[in-house]
Amino acid sequence: MSARRIFARPARFAAIAPYLWMVLFFLVPFGFVLKISLSQTAIAQPPYTPVFDFTEGRAALAAAFAQLSFDNFRLLLQDNLYILSYLRSLVVAVTSTVVLLLIGYPIAYGMARLPQRWQGVAMMLVIVPFWTSFLIRIYAWINILQHDGLLNQILLALHIVSAPVVWLSTDSAMYLGIVYSYLPFMILPLYATLSKMDASLLEAAGDLGASPLQAFWLVTFPLSLPGVGAGALLCFIPIVGEFVIPDLLAGSNSLMIGQTLWLEFFTNKDWPVASAAAVALLLLLVPPLVLYDRLQRRQLAGGR
Amino acid sequence: MAHSATRLTRFNMTSLALGLAFLYLPIVILVIYSFNASRLVTVWGGWSLRWYHEFFSDRAMLDAAWMSLSVAAVSATLATLLGTLAAVGLARGERFRGRALFSGMLYSPLVMPEVISGLSLLLLFVALNAERGFWTVTIAHTTLTMCFVTVVVQSRLATLDRSLEEAAMDLGCDPVRAFLLVTLPLIVPAIVAGWMLAFTLSLDDVVIASFTTGPGSATLPIRIYSEVRLGVKPEINAICTLVIALIAVIIVVASFASKLSSARGESAAPL
């Protein structure tokens, strides 16, 4: 026990460098986003008027505070474009998460039922696509879904359709891309809880007369809920802010918030509005982020 | 009857097989198409290395690839260093002030939408008046990927038998030496795996790199992305296949490292 305490001090010392790094490059930047979201747009480089300058002392700071403007946030609330893209992001994220659960659960369940030595192989097979470039995997789908791509060729050859179907630039293509990209994120936490489950519980349920389906609903599924929660959050949070997949696969008539932010920033060069959109997006994500953080910590504590 | 509840059913096998096919088929198709001699995707023109030649004579693409590889190598190394230190602090530091903030800062980038991370880092770099290019992208990628390294190394540290470290200290090692001589050799495979994960994540990123890079220093994913927006180009198939091959090598090395890790963990346990 005392050795532990002796070890703790240098371990804490080791954390100083990464701590400072994260404060400087993760926490402080959010301050800048907040600050610029409250400033006015300017046609200059950088394209905003500085809200305050740290070098000008307290009086200037007070004067600057008086100038803080919530115009950008007012714009977010008034302009339909933003509200619609927030709503769309939420709808897309919820729908995708549900579809991911429906597809991911049977796969994770199958993995957990494999003989022990095959489970490692199956897990490896699920992790590999996660390592493979995400952009490349989306691009692979463009190859297949394009006008004269493989999918249309097969459908035409089988006489299922008589003319090529437009797949690209549709919502179905976007959902396909999202589900494809995030599937490993859903499977792995589900598998982690399902594989740890005590098989004797199911046998007991069977002995007490439950059918396999009943045993699943009454025993397996409730016990796997922490995995369901972790997987759902791990998918939902990044999907809300997703940019690349909707940009490459969905049509351009309705945007997700990540695309709107990108458009404001790169095309319209309106940094304050882009920052305001980022702040609003972050506020939206705080509850799921807190929940996810709690789940993570509980899991790490349980693993110890 | 009792066994039917835990048996591997046909439904289990089918869902597993379909799931894996779904994950792998598009990649396999992409790799096959990269060897297609024809410019048209519809027509199979026979096997050919034509698009690979095209890539290796595309100066701008090669520059981008080189930029991406160097960013990935430098940022993965920095991230591994910082991430391992952070993991040690979290796994062995017991309670300390600001621990919740620390772990929060380390876990949230794992799920934080990239547009937010990218935008916030860019605003920082603009405020600091930093010239945007290689180093800003490297710093951005280090920040993102060190969190992944932390998770990988921390979970290894959490499963490690702490009595080994305690025994070393009882035998007269100071904590630093106990860590270097006992703990570090046991977590090296996790550190290697963390480096490789950081490397591939950096090699993959479009969004954060787009925000933090400057004019004239595009990474490979940025170039691929802008080409893909204009439509499918066979050369991109070849580049993607090369990246997949590189990542496959990395995965083989990483899985070898983790196998080594579990083998060592078992042999170390009876000690």
- B16 and A107 within 8 Å at the Cβ level: the answer is yes
Task: Return the pLDDT at B198.
Answer: 93
The DSSP-derived string for A210-222 is: --HHHHIIIIIHH
B215 touches chain A (CB under 8 A): no
Tell me the chain B residues in contact with residue A146 when contact means C-beta distances shorter than 8 Å: 41, 231-232
Task: Return the pLDDT at A304.
Answer: 37
Residues 45-64 of B with CB under 8 A from A: none
| Residue B231 vs residue B107, higher pLDDT | B107
Residues 107-136 of B with CB under 8 A from A: 107-109, 111-117, 119-121, 123-124, 126-127
Residues 62-101 of A with CB under 8 A from B: none
B169 touches chain A (CB under 8 A): yes
B75 touches chain A (CB under 8 A): no
Task: Return the pLDDT at A49.
Answer: 62
pLDDT per residue as tens digits for the range B174-200 = 888 888 888 888 889 889 989 998 999
**Between the CA of residue A88 and those of A239, A261, B193, what are the distances in Å?**
11, 14, 37
Domain boundaries, chain A: 71-303
Task: Return the pLDDT at B262.
Answer: 60
Task: Return the pLDDT at A61.
Answer: 57
Q: Distance between CA atoms of A65 and A60, rounded to whole angstroms?
A: 9
Tell me the chain B residues in contact with residue A7 when contact means C-beta distances shorter than 8 Å: 92, 165-166, 169, 175, 178-179
Whether residue B263 contacts residue B269, with contact meaning beta carbons closer than 8 Å, is answered with: no
Average pLDDT of B118-131? 91
Task: Return the pLDDT at A168.
Answer: 83
Q: Where are the alpha helices (DSSP H) in chain B?
A: 10-34, 50-56, 59-92, 99-111, 114-127, 134-159, 162-170, 175-178, 184-204, 207-212, 220-229, 234-268
| Residue A237 vs residue B265, higher pLDDT | A237
Q: Distance between CA atoms of A66 and A232, rounded to whole angstroms?
A: 43
Residues 2-61 of A with CB under 8 A from B: 3-12, 14-15, 17-19, 21-23, 25-30, 32-33, 36, 46
**Between the CA of residue A196 and those of A102, A193, A302, what are the distances in Å?**
20, 5, 12
Closest CA to B198 of A27, A14, A17, A131: A131
- A243 and B23 within 8 Å at the Cβ level: the answer is no
Query: How is residue A7 written in tokens?
Result: 């070890």
Nearest C-alpha of chain A: how many angstroms from B253?
Answer: 13
Closest CA to A105 of A186, A1, A198: A186
In chain A, the residue whose alpha carbon lies closest to the alpha carbon of B127 is A32
- B19 and A187 within 8 Å at the Cβ level: the answer is yes
> ipTM score here?
0.85
In chain B, the residue whose alpha carbon lies closest to the alpha carbon of A187 is B19
Q: Which residue has the tokens 């591939």?
A: B200
Tell me the chain A residues in contact with residue B232 when contact means C-beta distances shorter than 8 Å: 139, 142-143, 146
Grouped pLDDT means (10 residues each) for chain A, 304 residues: 70 88 92 84 60 55 64 76 88 96 92 86 83 84 84 85 83 92 91 84 82 83 88 91 90 83 86 87 86 74 50
A139 touches chain B (CB under 8 A): yes
Task: Return the pLDDT at B65.
Answer: 93
Task: Return the pLDDT at A302.
Answer: 56
Q: Distance between CA atoms of B107 and B101, rounded to whole angstroms?
A: 10
Closest CA to B114 of B196, B237, B231, B209: B209
Query: How is residue B41 written in tokens?
Result: 């995707």
Query: How is residue A262 written in tokens?
Result: 């990108």
Report residue B59: phi and psi, to 5°.
-55, -50
Of A181-190, B38-47, B213-222, B225-234, which range is least confident?
Answer: B38-47
In CATH, the number for domain A71-303 is 1.10.3720.10
Upper half-sphere CA count for residue A221 (Cβ side, 13 Å): 11
Task: Return the pLDDT at B267.
Answer: 39
Domains defined along chain B, listed by start: 58-268 (1.10.3720.10)
Q: Of A238, A262, A296, which is closest to B107 when you measure between CB atoms? A: A296
pLDDT per residue as tens digits for the range B128-158 = 888 889 999 999 999 999 999 998 898 888 8
In chain B, the residue whose alpha carbon lies closest to the alpha carbon of A265 is B119
- B115 and A241 within 8 Å at the Cβ level: the answer is yes
